[in-house]
Chains A and B, each alone.
Chain A
Amino acid sequence: MADTMLGLRDINTYYGKAHILHDLSFKVKTGEVVALLGRNGAGKTTTMRTIMQLARPRAGSVQFESQDITRWATHKVAQSGIGYVPEERRIFGDLTVMENLEVGRQPARDGLPVWTVEHLFELFPNLAERRNNRGKQMSGGEQQMLTIARTLMGNPKLLLLDEPSEGIAPVIVEQMAQTLLEIKAKGLTVLLSEQNLHFARIVADRAIIIESGSAVFDSTFEELETNPEIRDQYLSV
């Protein structure tokens, strides 16, 4: 058993009065790719934001490696080695591709592959051609690649991907799955949220289903296959 990289324990997060996450607990082990499944509004994005401390949990703790990062400043969380790719991509539209990458740059970390601009351009050849274009001039798919590349520039140990396949043409989604498999092969630990079960199954080792802010299923995809009730109840396929 590999050791735990990320652990959420009894997390409760609110937006104003709305109680979004209810006693959410789960773990991600080093080297693992875990898919957070669940439909719109189940709390996947809030989970990601809570890990980044962009949403402050009112109760519970987030453990990263050996540290309790609850209530840390967001930039400290990022500096400790968690890379976050938000749902809406959030490219810096007025900055060029190169500049977007520069914002994400952080020093290399021990025992991890070091991402350079060159590596990233190998991984995302489209970006290389557009290196001097501004973010807002790029298509949705290119922006999605840029936002992942930008986060990889921080040499994260753990990558959080919020709905990477959303709103992207299927052809690009297939490319994206390929890319994620390459990233996984480099030894990165990944937590991704998805609504697309089929995409998730290709890239992830394990599935956690969130419903109304709590984890209702945490096991392998094979297990999920044999459990159609769970699938039908919690995933809007």
Chain B
Amino acid sequence: MSQSVLSVRNLSKSFGGLKAVSDVSFDLVKGELLAMIGPNGAGKTTCFNMLNGQLKADAGQVMLNGESILGFSPRKVWRKGVGRTFQITATYASMTVRENVQMALISHHRRTWDIWRPASGQHVEEAMDLLALVGMKEQAERAAAILAYGDLKRLELAIALAHAPELLLMDEPTAGMAPKERVRLMQLTADIVAERNISVLFTEHDMDVVFAHAHRIMVLNRGELIASGSVDEVRNDARVQEVYLGGGTLFEGQAHG
């Protein structure tokens, strides 16, 4: 596919003989929201960490806009235009909401070595614009440490958007949120993605979120890609029902939204 932003081929990783990810290949096109799902230990996080450079892959290829980024450090991956949000929110607790976003902007504009001008005066407007985008403008001066969980998630999104990424990696974006908040956050993400033509790869446990927002779904199990396709295709895939969504009586309720 010519317009694919991210192209992954035969990505593999083992830990001490255990195959965490084996031979995973997929493409992600511009403006697409691609969900990666599967049971715990299926290799989603390992996959993610290889894509963003935190983990070295054993084999395979990762191309971003036709350029190989495999083996790049997380920093370099970020500089290439890949943003990420964390499953467990990672913000600077001792800074205000605005300063959190400013830090990302300061880094983006390569100003971290400035030892003289006060940091709080840098890129204020840009930071406020980003906060407005995620609906956090009113909370700009609060300490990140005292934010509600849902707000932290939105702050993370603002931080991830600071360097105008082309690709966003979101690890369990709605984990730990109340159902209504989940829907709101994902709707917000979907709107921003559409507006800015960003591609998103996300992992998610909540099938409501996945089915409602993903354009396409991949299912991992024991490190292998066992299915991928549209929401309906994946939902009705017998193998997926067996290993993840559940086909037996135990989980019948899980799949209907």
Classify A-B as touching or not with yes or no (CB < 8 A): yes
Which A residues lie at the B interface, using CB under 8 A? 17, 39-41, 139-140, 166-170, 173-174, 177, 196-199, 202, 236-237
Main SS at interface, chain A: loop
Q: Are A170 and B41 in contact (CB under 8 A)?
A: no
Interchain nearest-CB distance for B149 vs A (Å):
7
B177 interfacial by beta-carbon distance below 8 Å? yes
In the assembled complex, the Cα of A198 lies from the Cα of B208 at a distance in Å of 17
Interface residues of B in 14-52 (CB under 8 A from A): 39-41
B103 interfacial by beta-carbon distance below 8 Å? no
In the assembled complex, the Cα of A169 lies from the Cα of B208 at a distance in Å of 19
Given A167-B39, A236-B206, the answer on whether A173 and B250 have CB atoms closer than 8 Å is yes
Of the 9-residue stretches B4-12, B152-160, B187-195, B241-249, which lies at the interface with chain A?
Answer: B241-249
Given A17-B146, A170-B246, A198-B250, the answer on whether A39 and B178 have CB atoms closer than 8 Å is yes
B251 interfacial by beta-carbon distance below 8 Å? yes
Q: Are B206 and A140 in contact (CB under 8 A)?
A: no
B176 interfacial by beta-carbon distance below 8 Å? yes
Interface residues of B in 199-213 (CB under 8 A from A): 206, 208
Q: Are B251 and A40 in contact (CB under 8 A)?
A: no
Given A140-B40, A236-B206, the answer on whether A170 and B177 have CB atoms closer than 8 Å is no
Of the A-B pairs whose beta carbons lie under 8 Å apart in the complex, a sample of 12, sorted by A's number, is A17-B146, A41-B149, A139-B41, A140-B40, A166-B40, A167-B40, A169-B39, A170-B246, A174-B248, A196-B254, A198-B254, A202-B250
Interchain nearest-CB distance for A199 vs B (Å):
6
Given A140-B41, A236-B208, the answer on whether A170 and B251 have CB atoms closer than 8 Å is yes
Contact with A along B213-257 (1 / 0, CB 8 A): 000000000000000000000000000001110101111111000
Q: Are A40 and B250 in contact (CB under 8 A)?
A: no
| Among candidates B178, B208, B246, B251, residue contacting A41 with C-beta atoms closer than 8 Å | B178
Select from chain B the residue with minimum beta-carbon distance to A234: B179
Across-interface contacts of A166 in B (CB, < 8 A): 40
Interchain nearest-CB distance for A233 vs B (Å):
10
Across-interface contacts of A140 in B (CB, < 8 A): 40-41
Given A39-B179, A41-B176, the answer on whether A237 and B41 have CB atoms closer than 8 Å is no
Select from chain A the residue with minimum beta-carbon distance to B244: A170
Interchain nearest-CB distance for B76 vs A (Å):
32
In the assembled complex, the Cα of A111 lies from the Cα of B39 at a distance in Å of 40
Q: Are B249 and A236 in contact (CB under 8 A)?
A: no
Across-interface contacts of A198 in B (CB, < 8 A): 249-254
Interchain nearest-CB distance for A126 vs B (Å):
16
Q: Are A174 and B41 in contact (CB under 8 A)?
A: no
| Among candidates A41, A139, A170, A237, residue contacting B250 with C-beta atoms closer than 8 Å | A170
Interchain nearest-CB distance for A7 vs B (Å):
29
In the assembled complex, the Cα of A156 lies from the Cα of B63 at a distance in Å of 55
B175 interfacial by beta-carbon distance below 8 Å? yes
Given A139-B41, A236-B208, the answer on whether A169 and B149 have CB atoms closer than 8 Å is no
Given A39-B178, A41-B149, A236-B208, the answer on whether A170 and B243 have CB atoms closer than 8 Å is yes
Across-interface contacts of B176 in A (CB, < 8 A): 40-41
In the assembled complex, the Cα of A87 lies from the Cα of B208 at a distance in Å of 23
Across-interface contacts of B242 in A (CB, < 8 A): 170
Interchain nearest-CB distance for A203 vs B (Å):
11
Across-interface contacts of A173 in B (CB, < 8 A): 250
| Among candidates A168, A170, A177, A236, residue contacting B179 with C-beta atoms closer than 8 Å | A236
Given A198-B253, A236-B206, A236-B208, the answer on whether A170 and B248 have CB atoms closer than 8 Å is yes
Select from chain A the residue with minimum beta-carbon distance to B148: A18
In the assembled complex, the Cα of A170 lies from the Cα of B246 at a distance in Å of 7
Most-contacted residue by chain A among B208, B250, B252 (CB, 10 A): B250
- Nearest 3 CB-CB pairs, A to B? A167-B40, A236-B179, A237-B253
In the assembled complex, the Cα of A148 lies from the Cα of B222 at a distance in Å of 24
Contact with A along B170-190 (1 / 0, CB 8 A): 000001111100000000000
Interchain nearest-CB distance for A114 vs B (Å):
32
In the assembled complex, the Cα of A174 lies from the Cα of B246 at a distance in Å of 11
In the assembled complex, the Cα of A40 lies from the Cα of B179 at a distance in Å of 9
